[in-house]
Structure 1
Amino acid sequence: MHDLLTEFEREEIVFERLDAWAQASPDAVYLYDGEGDRELTFGYVSEATDWIAGHLARLGVTPGQRISALTPNSLIAALAMFGIWKAGGVFCPINYTFAGKLLAYTLNDTQPAWLLVDRQMTPRLAEIVGDLACPPRVIVYDAPEGAPDFIRPADRLPLPDVFRPIDWMELLSPAPRPNFTATFSDPASVVYTSGTTGPSKGVVLPFRCLNQYCFLARKLLTRDDVIYCDLPLYHIAGAFALVARAAWVGCEVAVWNRFSPQDFWRRIAKRGATTAILLDVMTPWLMKAPPSERDRQTTLAKVHLQPLPLNHQEIARRFGFDIVTTGFGQTESGLGLCLAIEEMPDGEGTPAEYWKGATRDHLRQVAAQFGIPVASGESVATKGAMGRPMPFHEVAILNERGYPCAPGEVGELCFRPKIPGLLFDGYLGKPEATLKAFRHLWFHTGDAAYADENGDYFFVDRLGDRLRRRGENFSSYIVEDLLYQLPEIALCAVFPIPGAESDEDDIVAFVVPKADAALTEAAVFEWAERHLPKYMQPRHVRVVAELPRTLTNKVEKYKLRAQVLRELGATESRA
Structure 2
Amino acid sequence: MKQPEEIFAQMVSEGDVALYQLKRHARENGDKVFIHYGETGERLTFRDVHERSLDIGRMLKSLGVTRGDPVSVLTSNSLLAAVAMFGCWQVGAVYAPINFNLRGKLLSYQINDTGAPLLITDPTFRETLEEIGPDIRPADVVVGPASIKGAGEGEIQLPNSRVHALDSVPGTDVKLDDPELGPFDPATIIYTSGTTGPAKGVLLPFRWINQYAFAGRSQWTSEDTIYCDLPMYHVGGAYALLVKAVWKGNTVGLWNRFSPSAFWSRIRECGASAGILLDVMIPWLMSAPASPEDRNNTLNKVHMQPLPSNHHEVAKRFGFNFVTCGFGQTESGAGFMAIIDEFGDDTGTPPELYKGLPREQLRASAEASGRLVVSGDQPLPPGFMGRPSPLVDVAILDEEDNRLPPGNVGQLAFRPRFPGLLLQQYLNKPEATLKAFRNLWFHTGDAVLEEPDGTFRFIDRMGGYFRVRGENVSSFEVESLLTDHPDVRSVAAVPVPAKEGHEDDIAVFVELREAGSCTENDIEAFAARQMPKYMRPRYIRIVDALPVTPTNKIEKYKLRQMLAEESD
What TM-score do you get using the length of structure 1 for normalisation?
0.95
Mapped partners of 1:116, 1:271: distance in 2: 28
Mapped partners of 1:60, 1:526: distance in 2: 42
Paired residues of 1:402 and 1:440 also in contact (CA < 8 A): yes
Paired residues of 2:124 and 2:146 also in contact (CA < 8 A): no
Mapped partners of 1:161, 1:513: distance in 2: 37
Mapped partners of 1:4, 1:371: distance in 2: 9
Deviation for aligned residue 1:329: 0.4
Q: Deviations over 1:459-499 (max 9, x none)?
A: 11100211110101121010011112222222111110111
Mapped partners of 2:255, 2:78: distance in 1: 7
2:11 to 4, 8, 13: 8
Deviation for aligned residue 1:173: 5.0
Question: Pairwise mapping of residues 413-492 of structure 1 onto structure 2 (< 5 A)?
Answer: 413-492=412-491
Mapped partners of 2:457, 2:35: distance in 1: 36
Mapped partners of 2:112, 2:334: distance in 1: 29
1:167 matches 2:165: yes
1:261 matches 2:260: yes
Deviation for aligned residue 1:401: 1.4
Match of 1:244 in 2: 243
Question: Pairwise mapping of residues 141-220 of structure 1 onto structure 2 (< 5 A)?
Answer: 141-143=144-146, 147-151=148-152, 155-170=153-168, 173=172, 175-220=174-219
Match of 2:83 in 1: 79
The structure 1 segments of at least 4 consecutive aligned residues displaced by more than 3 Å after TM superposition are 170-176
Paired residues of 1:28 and 1:41 also in contact (CA < 8 A): yes
- Report the residue type matching 1:12 in the other structure: D
C-alpha spacing 1:213/1:549, structure 2 compared with 1 (3 Å): same
* Higher deviation after alignment, 454-463 or 47-56: 47-56
C-alpha spacing 1:9/1:114, structure 2 compared with 1 (3 Å): same
Deviation for aligned residue 1:175: 4.7
Identical-pair percentage: 47
Please give the secondary structure, in 1, of the residue aligned with 2:11: helix
RMSD of aligned alpha carbons: 1.5
Paired residues of 2:449 and 2:456 also in contact (CA < 8 A): yes
Deviation for aligned residue 1:308: 0.7
Paired residues of 1:412 and 1:447 also in contact (CA < 8 A): yes
Paired residues of 2:134 and 2:159 also in contact (CA < 8 A): no
Paired residues of 2:343 and 2:376 also in contact (CA < 8 A): yes
Paired residues of 2:61 and 2:174 also in contact (CA < 8 A): no
Paired residues of 2:195 and 2:476 also in contact (CA < 8 A): yes
Mapped partners of 1:487, 1:563: distance in 2: 26
What TM-score do you get using the length of structure 2 for normalisation?
0.96
Deviation for aligned residue 1:516: 5.7
Please give the secondary structure, in 2, of the residue aligned with 1:337: strand
Question: Pairwise mapping of residues 540-551 of structure 1 onto structure 2 (< 5 A)?
Answer: 540-551=539-550
Please give the secondary structure, in 1, of the residue aligned with 2:423: coil
* Higher deviation after alignment, 230-239 or 489-498: 489-498
Mapped partners of 1:198, 1:348: distance in 2: 50
1:64 matches 2:63: no
* Higher deviation after alignment, 344-353 or 191-200: 344-353
Mapped partners of 2:519, 2:454: distance in 1: 52
Match of 1:294 in 2: 293
- Report the residue type matching 1:545 in the other structure: D
Please give the secondary structure, in 2, of the residue aligned with 1:162: coil
Deviation for aligned residue 1:176: 3.2
Question: Pairwise mapping of residues 101-112 of structure 1 onto structure 2 (< 5 A)?
Answer: 101-112=105-116
- Report the residue type matching 2:10 in the other structure: E
Deviation for aligned residue 1:345: 2.6
Match of 1:140 in 2: 143
Number of residue pairs the alignment of both structures matches: 563
Mapped partners of 2:55, 2:155: distance in 1: 28
Paired residues of 2:192 and 2:199 also in contact (CA < 8 A): yes
Paired residues of 2:507 and 2:538 also in contact (CA < 8 A): yes
Q: Which runs of 5+ in 2 are unaligned?
A: none
Deviation for aligned residue 1:157: 4.1
1:89 matches 2:90: no
- Report the residue type matching 1:149 in the other structure: G
- Report the residue type matching 1:518 in the other structure: S
Mapped partners of 2:156, 2:86: distance in 1: 28
Q: Deviations over 1:501-545 (max 9, x none)?
A: 121111001112222653111222222223211110111111122
Paired residues of 2:123 and 2:156 also in contact (CA < 8 A): no
Deviation for aligned residue 1:174: 6.7
- Report the residue type matching 2:104 in the other structure: G
Mapped partners of 1:294, 1:165: distance in 2: 50
Paired residues of 1:126 and 1:159 also in contact (CA < 8 A): yes
Match of 2:517 in 1: 518
- Report the residue type matching 1:66 in the other structure: P
Q: Deviations over 1:364-403 (max 9, x none)?
A: 1321231111100122421111111112111111111111
Deviation for aligned residue 1:405: 0.9
C-alpha spacing 1:502/1:161, structure 2 compared with 1 (3 Å): same
2:21 to 10, 17, 20: 17
Match of 1:572 in 2: none
